[in-house]
């Protein structure tokens, strides 16, 4: 086991859903800074639902950056707010799924300087029950050697629907010395965190940040109506005073990139009790 000085400690925050999700993240990070355990070297968050549940506005991008988040991953909803096209190429921390066709706005991975080493963050979409995209398997296999030459720690946000696809892809990534594969998209935190092949930190879904009393962040009544009638219904963000944040905390060897630990975080905050 490496010493603490030889490790990189990373926080990965699950899908942020609307204003309640943004508020949950702000409260959590504020509370984190107020305690002695505020020793994260790098913070990542999935932001594809951060603006009213669909996409990301430039204002919300800038607000979340001001909270201290170093890297934003995304998914299939990142294009839902059309001003994304005006700023995604200017952002120094936002990535979109790498398996969109060549010529798509933005980039699919970034490399960051963290604690005297390099950390690469990749974003990929699954294909089972998802809109057709290029093969994440081929992209990972074709690109990982080049990325590993630049950054020993490689973290993948695998934005996918099917648990079996996530598990299989994580094992595939582990064979290529990927440091972590973190599932997103389904918004429900799973209890299967582990280290695969004694190298790759994994969880099927990191969970979501948003209203605690909700249907994966959305209001109950329109969700119920849509499921009962099968008629398209406008989803609305649930607004409740109790906020929820789901995340994972990980440690990596700064030289080899090998995962040392992974731990789930489940945070609840009743903001009706918070003085404003």
Catalytically active residues, by annotation: 77
Phi then psi for 239, rounded to 5 degrees?
Answer: -120, 105
DSSP H helix total and E strand total for the chain: 6, 13
Q: Which of 117, 14, 29 is nearest to 72 (CA)?
A: 14
State the Cα–Cα distance between residues 276 and 272, nearest whole angstrom: 9
Residue with tokens 């979340």, as numbered in its chain: 64
Per-position b or e across 29-39, b if 16+ CB within 10 A of its CB: beebeeeeeee
- DSSP, res 69: -
- Residues with Cβ within 8 Å of 143's Cβ and at least 6 positions away in sequence, in order, are 98, 109, 122
What ranges in the chain are assigned the alpha helix state H? 18-33, 58-66, 84-87, 136-150, 163-174, 220-229
- Residues with Cβ within 8 Å of 87's Cβ and at least 6 positions away in sequence, in order, are 58, 61
Q: How far is CA 158 from the centre of its chain?
A: 8
Phi then psi for 103, rounded to 5 degrees?
Answer: 95, -10
Q: Which of 110, 115, 112, 93 is nearest to 39 (CA)?
A: 115
What ranges in 230-270 are assigned the alpha helix state H? none
């Amino acid at each position: 086991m490496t010493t603490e000085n030889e490790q990189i400690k990373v926080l990965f925050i699950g899908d942020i859903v609307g204003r309640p999700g943004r508020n949950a993240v702000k409260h959590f990070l504020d509370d984190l800074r107020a305690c002695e355990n505020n020793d994260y070297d790098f913070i990542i968050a999935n932001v594809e639902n951060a603006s009213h549940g669909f996409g990301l506005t430039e204002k919300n991008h800038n607000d979340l950056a001001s909270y201290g988040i170093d890297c934003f991953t995304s998914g299939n909803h990142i294009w839902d707010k059309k001003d994304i096209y005006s700023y995604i190429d200017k952002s120094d921390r936002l990535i979109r799924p790498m398996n969109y066709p060549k010529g798509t706005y933005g980039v699919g991975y970034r490399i960051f300087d963290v604690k005297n080493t390099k950390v690469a963050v990749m974003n990929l979409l699954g294909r089972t029950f998802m809109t057709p995209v290029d093969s994440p398997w081929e992209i990972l296999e074709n690109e990982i050697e080049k990325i590993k030459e630049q950054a020993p720690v490689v973290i993948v946000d695998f934005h996918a629907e099917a648990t079996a696809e996530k598990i299989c892809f994580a094992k595939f990534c582990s064979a290529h010395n990927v440091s972590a594969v973190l599932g997103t998209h389904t918004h429900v935190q799973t209890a299967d965190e582990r280290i695969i092949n004694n190298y790759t930190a994994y969880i099927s879904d990191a969970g979501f940040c948003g209203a605690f009393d909700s249907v994966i962040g959305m209001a109950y009544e329109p969700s119920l109506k849509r499921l009962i009638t099968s008629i398209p219904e406008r989803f609305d963000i649930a607004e409740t005073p109790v906020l929820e944040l789901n995340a994972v905390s990980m440690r990596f060897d700064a030289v080899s990139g090998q995962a040392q630990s992974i731990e789930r975080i489940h945070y609840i905050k009743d903001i009706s009790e918070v003085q404003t």
